[in-house]
Structure 1
């Protein structure tokens, strides 16, 4: 594929770095929308099942008939991706079951980039300058302080909140694991779009089955129509969000892509403010500014 060859050619160049920055920021916006879809009246297991069901449907013709079949190395990496992403999705569903979206999302996103930068330094020999580490601290610290502020407003019982936070922290670690692992996978593949298409296809089988089983066991079943439409929108956004950040890690540093993507917390807060009518307040605005400043420092401090 010509586009895939071009992406491979510009990887590691200034042109590739600029494109990676753009892709990571677009991914951040898309991921904020993706996260907001899981906030609402639907069970998180059903929502994720609907999203993955559509990912399966949309990705199958591309994987089976458009891109080449994966070679043996890519196929083995994809098998590992199934396990890693299944663990992540289960962890996130458990976290959303027990704590509010506004608590879970910042904890996951604040933990992820810090661990990813450390993992990228170990596995890809990436080096951050002292200035960039200060930026990582601003970004992760700002995100986690947003979570602390949101926790103070929670009214659910403390044991449930504590369990939700544990799952959220584990989710953040798994974000770092899958970001590093997927970056390795897309770099090993001769064509990045082959890896992307097969990645979305093979990692989407599990949750539709879990969601269907859960739906059958529900005493009071939700209306299916809106859930299906929510799943379609979520699947399209997932292609932009996860696909964008994967391509960014192919083009430039894994750690920088991971940090920039976590500006999704700022986009999520803005969506909550302007679209969902949520209160923001001066403290949250300051913390959002800290997150954005951290991302800028990381990008310009290298």
Structure 2
């Protein structure tokens, strides 16, 4: 895996951690925020398409495969809507670290298995050790949230005797992550699509889907824009940017390496929880984060 690909994936991880912190803060708003997020993302990034190769270089004349583009963004847009809905639901009912860690651990695990079994990718032995280290670190970060006395953990103790709802929503989010990761890798590579145009196409598809689901809450849109426009601008830049960088990376390196490596964002979210949210067991979290860093270094070899 080249140094440039590593840099791109790490940049994606920073952007991804940042927009998830933003999304967690407004998770109870739900659909109105997601609708505006799709609109802002589409508007901000549409102007970049002419400078990033149009829709791509595929097709018989090198001007882009329109049919492949429409199919690719159509399927991906639907998957991303499902991903956003379960993610927001998880953030509204569980804690940031639980949902995020579970989702980001489940997603790459499934992605690696599918990439190896169905896409024929064959990462090196050292890279696979790196994958295992990253996943172990992700699981360890998630375990740090369980059993901490006091604070939000105490009020959820009764529910933990069964199953933490944050874990369930995180697992569903992870399945969605794996699904769109594999599909999008296939679409971008097969039809040689531009990552920027692909991402804009996905967010454009999301708008009418959210509009249908939002029809009973449309009166809330003006208020959400007025109160949260700074968050919406940040979300509109960071959310597409994080995935555009991933799409670029998967044209340069195997999905089986890119998907786990982007989970360095788990470290950033864990540090945010320790420093800003004052979550418990800081030593455990830092140690688990170091395991993830070791895995990233192994992937880069």
TM value normalised by structure 1:
0.82
Other-structure match for 1:201: 204
* Stretch moving more, 73-82 or 190-199: 190-199
1:189 correspondence with 2:174: no
CA separation of 1:228 and 1:211: change in aligned 2, threshold 3 A = farther
Deviation of the 1:108 alpha carbon? 0.5
Runs of 4 or more off by more than 6 Å in structure 1?
Answer: none
- Alpha carbons 1:53, 1:231 under 8 Å: kept: no
Other-structure match for 1:34: 19
Q: Distance in 2 between matches of 1:199 and 1:63?
A: 13
Other-structure match for 1:266: 267
CA RMSD of aligned residues (A): 2.9
Other-structure match for 1:251: 252
- Alpha carbons 1:48, 1:231 under 8 Å: kept: no
| Match 1:23 to one of 5, 8, 11 | 8
> Which stretches in structure 2 are left out of the alignment for 5+ residues?
56-63
CA deviations 1:75-117 (Å, max 9, x no partner) are: 1122111221122112112212221112100111111111111
CA deviations 1:111-161 (Å, max 9, x no partner) are: 111111111112321113333322222211211221122132323251796
TM value normalised by structure 2:
0.82
- Alpha carbons 2:134, 2:293 under 8 Å: kept: yes
Other-structure match for 1:237: 238
- Alpha carbons 1:26, 1:244 under 8 Å: kept: yes
CA deviations 1:239-276 (Å, max 9, x no partner) are: 32011001101121111111111000112223344555
Q: Distance in 2 between matches of 1:179 and 1:129?
A: 20
* Stretch moving more, 152-161 or 50-59: 152-161
Secondary structure of the residue aligned to 2:145 is helix
Secondary structure of the residue aligned to 1:251 is coil
Deviation of the 1:188 alpha carbon? 2.3
1:100 correspondence with 2:78: no
Q: Distance in 2 between matches of 1:70 and 1:285?
A: 46
CA separation of 1:105 and 1:87: change in aligned 2, threshold 3 A = same
Q: Distance in 1 between matches of 2:165 and 2:268?
A: 26
Q: How does 1:67-146 map to 2 (within 5 A)?
A: 67-68=54-55, 71-146=66-141
- Alpha carbons 1:52, 1:231 under 8 Å: kept: no
Q: Distance in 1 between matches of 2:80 and 2:167?
A: 19
